[in-house]
Structures are given as structure tokens and as C-alpha cells.
Structure 1
Amino acid sequence: MPYRRLPNTDQARISSLKRAVEKCDRSDVYDLAISVRTFSEARNFLLKFEGAQTYYKECYENQSRHSRKHQLHVKNARMFISHFIQVLNLAILRSEIKKMNKTHYGLSLENNNVPDLTSELAVLEWGGKIIAGEQKRVRDGGIPISNPAIAKVKVYYDIFQDGYERQKNLQSITGRSLEELASMRKKADEIILDIWNQVEKKFKGIHPHELRLNKCREYGVIYYYRTDEEKSQ
């Protein structure tokens, strides 16, 4: 015997509800397999649920589009920050800048390693330190580093920082839209189950068996056949 199973994706839930609502729209009110109250509830909920899914998709696509641009800004900022630190270390090795000045940048006096800039948080942190450190050293009378100048580093860092904040905001918006969508799934399942129960009760006396299943399917009921099971005729 085939068995029914509730939809397990949002699109499948919407499809099931749509079939039921559209079937009711095409039917005379006296021929409905579900109550008018359930029909009205399903139609109203479908509009909200479908709207929530559409909004989530729009948020996610907007976030993804911005992310692709943002990754280029991350790459540029990382490259210029790393390059600046390498030039600073070379200037120190050539005794053009005193080693103690590294403390202005938050850099270790024990080695000339470039900090790990793999993560965006690291780029954000070290970019801020390097810019502030160079500005302080120059204010104290130091000769500015060139190629790259800190002004150029700051241009790419500021672009990255703006993109970073925007990406965080977009992620937050997407997260909230997903939470709203997820919060509606339980209600969707309850309405679908109610529809299915009413429909199967309405058509329980119809024979042959496959005709009854097809009438139920018209209202969005989903049936599955077990492995190697043949449809009864």
C-alpha cells in the first residue's frame, strides 16, 4: 500500500498548498473535500508563506552578489597590508627605521613575520593597527613609508571595511528572513496535514483504490510507493 509523507522542503510545502487551494478555487463550494474554513486558512497562509520564501531568496541572492564583490576588496586590502608590513620590516633591517617603532603597529619585536591575514577579522584588525601605527610614527617625526604609502593602503582598507560592515548587515538580514520562514513551517505542516486528513476522509469510500488516490492527489496529497511495490489497479 502506498503511504503519504508530509513535504520536507519549503517549495514542496508551497506546491502542496497551491494544489489544494487551486483545486478548491476550481470547485463548487458544495463539492469541496475540505471545509470552507480550512480552505480560507490555507489560501491566506499560502500568500504569507510564499511571500516569506520569496523574500528570503531575494535576501540570499543579494548577499551572494555582494559577497563576490566583497571578496575582491578583501584580497586587495590583504595584499596591501601584507606588502606594507614587508616594506616596513625591510626598512628596519636596513636601519632606516628603528626596530622599537614596530610597537606602534602592534608587531612583534622578536621576528619579522607578517601576521596571519587569512580571516577577514584579521585583515580588519591588522589594517587598523598598521594605519594607526604609521600615522603615529609620522606624527612623531618619522619619514613616511612609500610604495605603498599608507594613504594608498588606507584607501583599499576603507573600501574593505565598508564592504565588511555591509556584508555583516546583509548576512543579518538574510538570517532574520530565514528565521521568519522557518518559524512558519510548523503551521504549514499543520494545515497540510489537516487538508490531507479531510480529503482522505471525504474520498475513503471511492473505488478502485487508484481512483481514490488520484482524487486525493488533486488536493496536494503526496503518496509514495515502497520499494518494488506496484500500483494497484
Structure 2
Amino acid sequence: MPYRRLPNTDKARLTALEKAVAMEHECDVDKQAASYKTLNEARALLRRFKSAVGQFQYCYTAQAEANRQYQSHLKTARLYISHFIQVLNLAVLRNEVRKEHKLFYGLDPEDFAVPELTGEKHILVWGERLIEGERERVSHGGAPIYNPTIAKVTVHYDIFKEAYREQQNYKLNTTRSQSGLDALREEADRIILDLWNQVETYYADLPAEIRLNRCRAYGVVYYYRSGEKRPEDD
């Protein structure tokens, strides 16, 4: 005999609920295979579940689309920050900038390597340090760094910082919609299991193939095991 398996995707859950709710209009009240209470729960959940799936898909798509532009801003900000530090180090090596003035930027006077810039948090930290450090150094009589100027770095850093804030909001919205959808999945699985149990019990005394077909009409999904004979094989 084939075995049933509960839905494991949102599309399959929606299909199961839709079929069960549709049967409420196909059968007379006294011939319903599931209770009115359970069918009413399924009908109410179907509306909420459809809405939650749509909301999650919208948030996920919006986040993915915004992320492409965000990655571009991240790459540009990293490039300008890295370039500024390299130019500053070269100015120190040429004795155009006093070595100890690297401390204004939070940089080790003896270390001429570019600091870690792989992560978003690194960009946020070093962008602020460079902007504040250049302001402080110039206020002490130092000549501004050029190519790139700190103004140019600031422009791209601010663009990145705003994009970062927006991306965090996109992630938060997606996480919230995901959490709400997860809760509804649990409710959907509970209701579908209850529905299918009632339907199978209602048709339990019918011949096998008739019983399976009646249950399928309510959305119950059956799978045949490998090598198991199917009715169409006769």
C-alpha cells in the first residue's frame, strides 16, 4: 500500500489546504469527511498563510535586489579606505607626514600594512577613524592627503553607511516575516495532519483504491514505494 507524507514546502501546504477547503463546497454538510471546526480552521489559516508567504517572498526579493547595489557600495568604500591608508603610509615613508601622526587614525606608527578590511564592521570602524584622524592631523598643522582626499573617502563612506543601514532594515524585515511564516507552518502542519487523519478515518471502510481517491480529493498525498504495484500497472 502507498504511504502518505505531509507537505514539506509552502507550495505543498497551500495546495493541501486549498483542496480541503474546496471540498467543503463539493460535498453536502452531512457527507463531509472532516469536521466543520477543522475545515473552518483550514479556511482561516489558508488566508493568513497565503499572505505570510507573499510577505516573506516580497521581503526576501527586496533584500536580494538591494544587496546587489549594497555590495557595489561596500566594494567602493573598501577601495577608497584602503587607498587612503596606502597613500598615508607612503607619505610617512617619504617623511611628508610624521610617523607618530598615524596614531591620529588609530594606526600603528611601525606597521605599514593595510589593516583588515574584509568585513562590513571593519569598513565602518576604519572609515570613521580615517575621517576623524585626518581632521585631527590637519588641525595640528599637517598637510591634507590627496588622491584620494578625505572628502572623497567621506562621500563613499557615507554612501556605504547609508546602504548598510538600509540593508540591515531589509534583513530585519526578512527575519520578521520568516519568523511569522515559521509559526504558521507549524499551525498548517497541525491542521493538515488533523484533516488527513479525519478524512482517512471517514473513508476507512471503502475499498483501497476508492478510499485513496476520495482521500486525495481532500488533498491527502500518497507515495508508492520503489517497486510497489500501482493501479495503472494493471
Q: TM-score range by the shorter chain?
A: over 0.9
| 1:11 pairs with 2:7 | no
Partner of 1:98: 98
- Confirm or deny: 8 A CA contact 1:2 1:226 kept in the other structure: yes
Unaligned ranges ≥5, structure 1: none
| 1:67 pairs with 2:67 | yes
After superposition, residues 18-97 of structure 1 pair within 5 angstroms as 18-97=18-97
Deviation at 1:185, TM superposition (A): 1.9
Question: Which amino acid is the alignment partner of residue 82 of structure 2?
Answer: S
Distance 1:135 1:18 in 2: 64
Distance 2:182 2:20 in 1: 22
Distance 1:7 1:32 in 2: 22
Question: Which amino acid is the alignment partner of residue 218 of structure 2?
Answer: Y
Mean Cα displacement is larger for which, 101-110 or 69-78? 101-110
Aligned length: 232
| 1:114 pairs with 2:114 | yes
Deviation at 1:20, TM superposition (A): 0.8
Deviation at 1:28, TM superposition (A): 2.9
CA deviation digits over 1:176-224, x for unaligned, max 9?
11111111222111110111111112212222x2221111011110111
TM-score if structure 2 supplies the norm length? 0.95
**Identity of paired residues, percent?**
50
- Confirm or deny: 8 A CA contact 1:102 1:108 kept in the other structure: yes
| 1:211 pairs with 2:213 | no
Distance 1:73 1:27 in 2: 59
Deviation at 1:64, TM superposition (A): 0.6
Distance 2:49 2:67 in 1: 27
TM-score if structure 1 supplies the norm length? 0.96
- Confirm or deny: 8 A CA contact 1:200 1:216 kept in the other structure: yes
What is the root-mean-square deviation of aligned Cα atoms in Å? 1.2
Determine helix, strand or coil for the equivalent of 1:184: helix
Partner of 1:156: 156
Unaligned ranges ≥5, structure 2: none
- Confirm or deny: 8 A CA contact 1:21 1:39 kept in the other structure: yes
Q: List, as ranges, runs of 4+ consecutive aligned residues in structure 1 with deviation greater than 3 Å.
A: none
Question: Which amino acid is the alignment partner of residue 227 of structure 1?
Answer: S
Distance 1:230 1:135 in 2: 80
Question: Which amino acid is the alignment partner of residue 114 of structure 1?
Answer: V
Distance 2:136 2:111 in 1: 22
Distance 1:26 1:203 in 2: 16
| 1:231 pairs with 2:233 | no
Deviation at 1:10, TM superposition (A): 2.0
Question: Which amino acid is the alignment partner of residue 214 of structure 1?
Answer: N
Deviation at 1:66, TM superposition (A): 0.7
CA deviation digits over 1:90-132, x for unaligned, max 9?
1111111100010011111222101121111111111111111
Deviation at 1:14, TM superposition (A): 1.3
Distance 2:13 2:54 in 1: 14
- Confirm or deny: 8 A CA contact 1:210 1:231 kept in the other structure: no
Question: Which amino acid is the alignment partner of residue 24 of structure 1?
Answer: E
